[in-house]
Amino acid sequence: MTQENGQPKPKPHKIIVAIDGYSSCGKSTLAKALAKTLHYAYLDTGAMYRAVTLFMLEKGIDYNDPAAVAEALEHIEIHFERIQGQNHTFLNGVDVEREIREMRVSEHVSPVSTISAVRRAMVAQQKAMGKRRGIVADGRDIATVVFPDAELKIFLTADTDVRTSRRHLELAAKGIDAEWDEIRRNLRERDHIDSTRADSPLRQAEDAIVIDNTLLSEAEQLEKALSLAQAQIGR
Ligand code: DC
């Protein structure tokens, strides 16, 4: 393809889309759909903190002990694989995609995520994964710490009861049994810990665009985000 001046048309450049927000407000649904539409990689940073937490729980490691945490981090390898079109999280070579979503992990993941040594290790890996751009990442510190130079920053929000119901359905679909009230309490607790921790708390980046998806369908939120992304890609 050429432009009017006969020069080859520049290829659209690849961008980074950073999506932050509270627990269960649809970040991963949006990030996955956006990555699929743009043919980008999807980076689920919450899954990485969940995998670290699972390791601590399974090995009976006291995560309040800094030396034990440092030692544990030496023995943790996390990567992602696509299996039948789905993102799967691997911890030391084992597919833990299902286990990391269980309530026992949700109960401990926020305190584990407050530990600076854990954050340093995860953020370094995430930055490396984003080197070639063409990535949609979701989490709590993506636009502020991991990819502060992301071309598109989205801060997603939704009503707490709506988030609880969505999470309840999502867990039920995976065959994971949990009470609605227990899920709601866990969401509120994680929101509190995630946004008040000393190291890289969840907060809206100054240049982030807020999308409240309480009343939006998945298709509607995707459409909004896609047009924002395309505006950046076409620049
Ligand atoms: O997105 P999620 O609910 O799977 O994330 C699980 C926890 O991991 C969340 O409560 C806080 C932590 N987390 C974080 O501290 N930083 C991120 N970038 C992503 C998740």
CATH of the domain at 138: 3.40.50.300
Residue 178 belongs to domain spanning = 16-233
Position 177 scores a pLDDT of: 87
Instruction: Tell me which residue has its CA closest to atom 6 in ligand 1.
Output: 46
Instruction: Tell me which residue has its CA closest to atom 9 in ligand 1.
Output: 110
Total domains in the chain come to 1
Instruction: Assess if residue 146 is contained within a domain.
Output: yes
Instruction: Assess if residue 227 is contained within a domain.
Output: yes
Instruction: Assess if residue 2 is contained within a domain.
Output: no
| Ligand 1 pocket mutation pick from 19, 45, 200 by most atoms within 8 angstroms of CB | 45
Percent of the chain with pLDDT over 90: 89
Stretch 215-233: mean pLDDT = 96
**Displacement of CA 103 from its chain's centroid (Å):** 17
Instruction: Assess if residue 4 is contained within a domain.
Output: no
Stretch 216-228: mean pLDDT = 97
Give strand ranges (E) for the chain. Answer: 16-21, 41-44, 78-83, 86-91, 94-95, 135-139, 152-157, 209-212
Q: Which atom of ligand 1 is nearest to the CA of 101?
A: 4
Instruction: Assess if residue 10 is contained within a domain.
Output: no
Cα gap 13→28, rounded to integer Å:
23
Instruction: Assess if residue 35 is contained within a domain.
Output: yes
Cα of 235 from ligand 1 centre, angstroms = 31
CA angle 90, 96, 97 (to 5 degrees): 95
Position 14 scores a pLDDT of: 94
pLDDT per residue as tens digits for the range 7-43: 765 666 899 999 999 999 999 999 999 999 999 999 9
Residue 167 Cβ < 6 Å to ligand 1: no
Instruction: Assess if residue 80 is contained within a domain.
Output: yes
pLDDT-derived band at 1 (thresholds 50, 70, 90) equals very low
Task: Give the least confident one: 3-12, 84-93, 201-210.
Answer: 3-12
Q: Which atom of ligand 1 is nearest to the CA of 109?
A: 7
Cα gap 219→199, rounded to integer Å:
34
pLDDT per residue as tens digits for the range 137-188: 999 999 999 999 999 999 999 999 999 999 999 889 988 889 999 999 999 9
Instruction: Assess if residue 226 is contained within a domain.
Output: yes
User: Taking all residues of the chain, what is their mean pLDDT, rounded to a whole number?
Assistant: 94
| Ligand 1 pocket mutation pick from 80, 140, 191 by most atoms within 8 angstroms of CB | 140
pLDDT per residue as tens digits for the range 58-68: 999 999 999 99
